[in-house]
Amino acid sequence: MAVALLEAAEDAAVKAGADRVVLQTGDRQPDAVRLYEREGYTRIPVYPPYHLVPNSLCYHKRVT
């Protein structure tokens, strides 16, 4: 189910003309981290407003 939701988000991003999907989670969400990394998402610097959230992790993936 989680993979299907990610795929739907990626499809929606492409249809909207975006070239990437950006996600935020936390280091206390190990299942989300594993999912994102397994599905090809790469860590990026934490961006606002999440830079104020302790243990925040941000990811992105290029989509076409």
Domain spans in the chain, listed from the N-terminal domain onward:
2-62
Residues 44-51, mean pLDDT to the nearest whole number = 96
CATH class of 2-62: alpha beta
Res. 18: pLDDT tops 90: yes
Mean pLDDT of the chain: 97
pTM across the whole model? 0.90
Confidence label for 24 from pLDDT (cuts 50, 70 and 90): very high
CB contact at 8 A, 42 and 59: yes
The confidence score (pLDDT) of residue 64 equals 87
CB contact at 8 A, 57 and 25: yes
